[in-house]
Amino acid sequence: MKELITKAKKAKKAVTELITKTTSQKNEALLRIEDQLIQEIPYILQENNRDIEHARNTGVHESLIDRLMLNEQRIKDMSKALVQLASLPDPTGNVLERFERPNGLIIEKVAVPLGAIGMIYEARPNVTVDAASLCLKTGNVVLLRGSSSAIHSNKALVSVIHRALELSDLPVDSVQLIEDTSRETAVKLFKMNDYLDVLIPRGGKALIQAVVENASVPVLETGAGNCHVYIDKSADKKMAIDIVLNAKTQRPSVCNSIETVLVHETWAKKHMNEMVENLIERGVELRVDQNIHELFPAIVLATEEDWQTEYLDHILAIKTVSGTSEAIEHINRYGSKHSEAIITEAEDNVRSFFQLVDAAALYHNASTRFTDGHEFGFGAEIGISTQKLHARGPMGLPALTSSKYVIRGNGQIRE
């Protein structure tokens, strides 16, 4: 607990220093971190391997190990994201609105950093670099609290970031890692209103609910990904199967992979055999409704729980529906407001889907796997927001800013 207070104080103090730094100074720091990451790949992988070995020794499922694992390519991808972030416009200081009042006052709405951000997240150590870099670019300090499963990886990455910041003009204390991963420390972090301006959770449903329900610090909520693909009756067979395979199997352990496929009953009669065969060939375990179960008795019959579950694994639920309206009803009932897709050639059905499905990202004839800060051209993301206030969808640089009004006068007084 002492560590938490000490580092929170350091982070809060760094806010006033970091906010004065120029865009060029921040970009230089990001490029130094990029260079340091590449230089220290062997060290980072060595420490990540300690976490992987511990996970395997304690029986952690392979899909969760994939979220935890770093390799040379993943570190290089993080480095590329830093270069991209350095090339993107800095939103802080932008004049968002400007107007003049009849009394001569000139009012400007200016983008400013959020301040001190608490980041609590599970498993994925790449979040350490994404969060730190996004915060630095926008003039925010960040207090990181990862999970015990990734503690060695996170410590290594933060030490690399600190070595890079020591060579820059930015304060080293801008990025802090809480190494105490106890529940008690996490609960204390939720209520550190004197030190934190916002709290961002990133992880599974249980973590996010715990933060939302217990935090007194304002929460920028990221959501779990119970995502769907709806295959309409006019869907091209090859396109539909390719999208389903990509959205489920390209990387099933991430939040924008799909967990349920809804299939128009007409399309199912023609093409369900081929889709099922392709999924099984890819090692996907299926849970199906009664209609499909009658065609494939060996496949597990889905339960109510299957429609609600974010598997993050090679498991997929499939349900037949009578049309777009039933598909939309199912998605709005069971979905997590993350990413949803419709495969169809009928523009009226696309229009209904886009209007009526309540989610942060909606797709027509494309995989949900594109809901990602890098794929959206943001360089990286601090999370994918499924709430409606402040930010929604992949949160890049602008999402880490707020605004203030700056008013210029020449002696005006209110009568």
Instruction: Round to whole Å and give the CA distance between 180 and 3.
Output: 8
Q: What is the pLDDT of residue 123?
A: 83
Q: Distance of alpha carbon 201 from its chain centroid, rounded?
A: 9
Whether the model pTM is above 0.85: yes
145 and 178 Cβ atoms separated by less than 8 Å: yes
Pairing of strands 95-100, 393-394: unpaired
Q: What is the pLDDT of residue 402?
A: 96
415 residues of the chain, pLDDT tens digit each: 789 999 999 999 999 999 999 999 999 999 999 999 999 999 999 999 999 999 999 998 887 898 899 999 999 999 999 999 999 999 999 999 999 999 999 999 999 999 999 999 988 899 999 999 999 999 999 999 999 999 999 999 999 999 999 999 999 999 999 999 998 999 999 999 999 999 999 888 888 889 989 999 999 988 789 999 999 999 999 999 999 999 999 999 889 999 999 999 999 999 999 999 999 999 999 999 999 999 999 999 999 999 999 999 999 999 999 999 999 999 999 999 999 999 999 999 999 999 999 999 999 999 999 999 889 989 888 999 998 888 999 999 999 999 999 999 999 999 9
State the DSSP code for 399. G
Query: Which element (helix H / strand E) includes 110?
Result: strand 106-113
Q: What is the pLDDT of residue 205?
A: 80
Instruction: State the CB neighbour count (10 A cutoff) for residue 206.
Output: 10
Q: How many residues comprise the chain?
A: 415
| CA count, 13 A, side-chain hemisphere, 274 | 13
Instruction: Round to whole Å and give the CA distance between 226 and 337.
Output: 8
What DSSP letter does each residue of 36-89 carry, written as one string? Answer: HHHHTHHHHHHHHHHHHHHHHHTT--HHHHHHH---HHHHHHHHHHHHHHHHSP
Instruction: Round to whole Å and give the CA distance between 261 and 327.
Output: 10
71: Cβ contacts below 8 Å, ≥ 6 apart: 45
